[in-house]
Structure 1
């Protein structure tokens, strides 16, 4: 049966497009802010005014794009994914979206199926974020080195340093790297704790296992919402077959 994921198509693809637009606007704003420092208002008044107007427009666009992405597109996509997860686990219709082959486990107990699905999601999140961090760490270290070299160079204009600091320590570089590291750590915790839960062979008819499953489900959902990191669809599709095989081995070992 072919895999179907209307949640990804209808909600995560627009989010990917918005993130790409935001990344482009970030660099446009950064470049314009530095360019404005080198245009003398007295010598080139028209060019200076045009540059400032374009800069203000881009800043406003960047601001509104960020708010739409953070307050509407990302929560909407996560809400739909969570509704579909619960619908899949409890065989109910919380959403009209359809997902086939997204979660892979054979559990019939709703709460145990939910726990297994969360463990699978945490596994994929952990692995994809690890791969994303290779590039993000390299980029972050590179920008920090360049910035430190500029700071140590006494001839560097202080206004340029101020603009560069705003770019380096913005949401797109340092903060994004920290959120990705945090997402990786928390996803590993969810995976490891669920692994222990299943390894312990606790009965999901008992409150102890039920409460742990619900707690870890909430923990994982909170982690994703707080980190607000969109996983790379390119890396997911590229490594999906290998990661799926690894997951099949894990769930086979755990009997889920």
Structure 2
């Protein structure tokens, strides 16, 4: 089946803003380093002043874009949530639904299918975030080493020190949020494993709904986009493993 995800355009736009934010952070760091070098070379004050003005503009732009990114991300998440519910239950919350996104079309619509879809989503999310986390830790280590070396060796301007700290702080914050998302979705995945193996039918729906709420709450708190390149690279292998999990748990 051809994969169609109507709300992907919303996520793509958020991704573009994320890329812009990353570029701004890199530019602010680069300009800050340039100012430090020019100060050491005793470059004319006028040129240094221009760079300081650019830094302020970039900082304000980053603040505004970050607010916009958060707003658009939550809107995209709302679209995803509606499509998720439509696929599992007999509802029509979305204007257009996805196809080929979940691998559970053989199941009858209801709370059980909704739970299986969330089980699958938690499996994919915890697997992708684990891969993303390794990448983030390597990048964070390199940037922290570079920035703190500059701060404690050549940076004697308080404004420059603060701006230099913006990049590692942002990366550290994103890494911590990514770690929490990985741990939370891994916990949700393990709970689903327990639910679909040991729970009695009378309590199954309640446990499924409770775990779905935990999963959605984890996504909302983290407000992190999954790496699309990593997803595409892992998608086929994860789909095969997911079908093996369904067979193993007799879903």
The answer, yes or no, to whether TM exceeds 0.5 is yes
- CA displacement at 1:110 relative to structure 2: 0.9
Q: CA deviation at 1:234?
A: 0.7
Cα distance in 2 for residues equivalent to 1:145 and 1:51 = 24
Deviations 1:101-134 (A, max 9, x none): 1111233151111111111011101111111112
For the pair 1:66 / 2:75, whether they are aligned, the reply is no
Partner of 1:102: 101
Of residues 184, 191, 210, the one that matches 2:189 is 191
- Aligned residues of 1:4 and 1:101 also touching (Cα < 8 A): yes
Aligned 1:70-219 pairs, distance under 5 A:
70=70, 72-105=71-104, 106-147=106-147, 155-159=153-157, 162-168=162-168, 170-171=169-170, 173-203=171-201, 206=202, 208-219=203-214
Deviation at 1:175, TM superposition (A): 0.8
Paired residue secondary structure (2:7): helix
Query: Are the equivalent residues in 2 in contact too, given 1:29–1:58 (CA < 8 A)?
Result: yes
Q: C-alpha separation between the residues in 1 aligned to 2:29 and 2:249?
A: 50
Give deviations 1:147-195, integer Å, cap 9, x for gaps: 56557x6x44343655433432x22x11111111111100100100011
Structure 2 match to 1:247 = 242
Checking the alignment, whether the CA contact within 8 Å between 2:87 and 2:109 is kept in structure 1 is no
Change (3 A) 1:114 1:131: same
How far apart are residue 142 of structure 1 and its match? 2.4
State which of 188, 213, 231 in structure 2 corresponds to 1:236.
Answer: 231
SS of the residue aligned with 1:97?
Answer: coil
Q: CA deviation at 1:200?
A: 1.3
Per the alignment, residue 23 of structure 2 pairs with 24
Q: Please list every run of 5 or more consecutive structure 1 residues that lacks an aligned counterpart in the other structure.
A: none
Q: Give the conservation status (yes or no) of the 8 Å contact 1:34–1:163.
A: no
Partner of 1:224: 219
- Root-mean-square deviation (Å): 2.1
| Unpaired runs of at least 5, structure 2 | none
CA distance in 2, matches of 1:181, 1:241: 24
Instruction: Note the C-alpha offset of 1:29.
Output: 1.8
Deviation at 1:39, TM superposition (A): 4.3
In the superposition, relative to structure 1, how do residues 255 and 91 fare at CA in structure 2: closer, same or farther (>3 Å)? same
Range with bigger deviation, 105-114 or 212-221: 105-114
Asked if 1 retains the 8 angstrom alpha-carbon contact of 2:86 and 2:97, the reply is no
Residue 28 of structure 2 contacts residue 164 of structure 2 at CA under 8 Å; is this kept in 1?
no
| Distance in 1 of aligned mates of 2:220 and 2:185 | 12
1:55/1:143 CA distance change after superposition, 3 Å: closer
In 2, Cα distance between equivalents of 1:197 and 1:49? 62
Q: Matched residue of 1:99: which SS? A: coil
Query: How many residues are aligned here?
Result: 246
